[in-house]
Amino acid sequence: MAFLAVPLIGLLTKVSWGTLWQDLTTPVALDALKLSLVCSLWATGLSLILGVPLAWVLARTQLPGRNLVRALAILPMVLPPVVGGVALLLAFGRDGLLGRPLYSLFGIQFPFTTAGAVLAETFVAMPFLIITVEAALHSMDGRYEEAAANLGAGRWRTFRHVTLPIIAPSLIAGAALTWARALGEFGATITFAGNIQGRTQTLPLAVYLELQSNEGVAIAMSLALLTFSIVVLVALRGRWLGAIRR
């Protein structure tokens, strides 16, 4: 318990409350804050767009090789993020497997761009969404979908108007976890997208950099990240209780 609490107390006692606002509104902190919000929300959105259909395929179809797909989808959760960053670089870097044709044909490049930061965060955070949604689909009573089909609803209408609303609490919880993970992403982002203020320097990267030069700003930004985490925890708690009460 103390082991868990002491670091938090340590952080809170070091905060210089008087200059907190000043520290948070320095250009470095403001840029990082803005970029972090933009990137993490994009990453959450991308995870929803890609992850929900994937979770549905894993939970509801007899696709051969499902277990392999599931393993691949979950891998980034257990993979050291730095390795994820290296892998992304080898795939989407300018000389990468996909990066080279993308760059030469369309002029699209990911390293050292905000899109790269979004990609890195999505790669690391999406598994949280996939496992939450897949678990929700498995635990949901599949006969609701049969009832919808029986009433004449096709697959898409069934999914949109029956499945999604029924798993909504889990979907929201999964999205919140994904967002929190994306917000805290460090290793893959710095390896793949670099550390450029205003373009790829998200809050965790800025904290790491500022800690060497300007401890006050680093601590202020850490406090901001801590606040986001607590907000997610409290929001999820309400959601979970709400789900139980229904």
Partner 1 sequence: MSLDAEISVAVGEFELHLDLDVADGEVVAVLGPNGSGKTTLLRTLAGLQPLSSGHITLDGRVLDDPAAKVLVAPESRQCGMIFQDYLLFPHLTAVANVAFGLRSRGTNKSEANGRALKWLGRMEVAHRAQAKPHQLSGGEAQRVALARVLATDPQLLLLDEPMAALDAGARGAVRHQLRRHLAAFTGACVLVTHDPLDAAAIADRLVIIEAGRITQQGTLKEITTRPRSSYIAGLMGLNLLSASASGTTIVLANGATLEAASRANGETLVVIAPQSISLHLDRPDGSPRNMWPTRVSEIHLIGDRARVLLGDPVPVAAEITAISLAELGLTEGSPVWASVKATQVDTFPANGGQ
- In the complex, minimum distance from the CB of residue 245 to partner 1, in angstroms, rounded to a whole number: 11
C-beta separation of 127 from 118 below 8 A: no
166 binds partner 1 (CB under 8 A): yes
Q: Of these, 152, 213, 244, 245, which contacts partner 1 (CB under 8 A)? A: 152
Choices 31-39, 84-92, 114-122, 157-165; region in contact with partner 1 by CB under 8 A = 157-165
Complex with partner 1: residue 122 or 163, whichever CB lies closer: 163
CA–CA separation, 123 vs 75, rounded Å?
Answer: 10
Q: Applying CB under 8 A, does 165 fall inside the site for partner 1?
A: yes
Residues 6 or more apart whose CB falls under 8 angstroms from that of 133 comprise 51, 52, 55, 56, 59, 167, 170, 171, 174
Whole-number Å distance between alpha carbons of 39 and 208: 18
Comparison of 213 and 246: residue with beta carbon closer to partner 1: 246
Nearest to partner 1 of 95, 141 (CB atom): 141
Q: Which of 41, 86, 149, 211 binds partner 1 (CB under 8 A)?
A: 149
Q: Report how many helices (DSSP H) and strands (DSSP E) the chain contains, helices first.
A: 13, 0
SS (H, E, C) 164-184: HHHHHHHHHHHHHHHHHHHHC
Q: Is 172 in the site for partner 1 (CB under 8 A)?
A: no
User: From the list 35, 115, 148, 207, which residue makes contact with partner 1 (rule: CB under 8 A)?
Assistant: 148
**Residue 154 makes contact with partner 1 by CB under 8 A:** yes
The smaller minimum CB distance to partner 1, of residues 95 and 143, is found at 143
Residue 79 DSSP SS3: coil
Task: Work out the number of other CB atoms within 10 angstroms of the CB of residue 112.
Answer: 16
- Binding interface with partner 1 (CB under 8 A): 141, 143-144, 146-154, 157, 161-162, 165-166, 168, 246
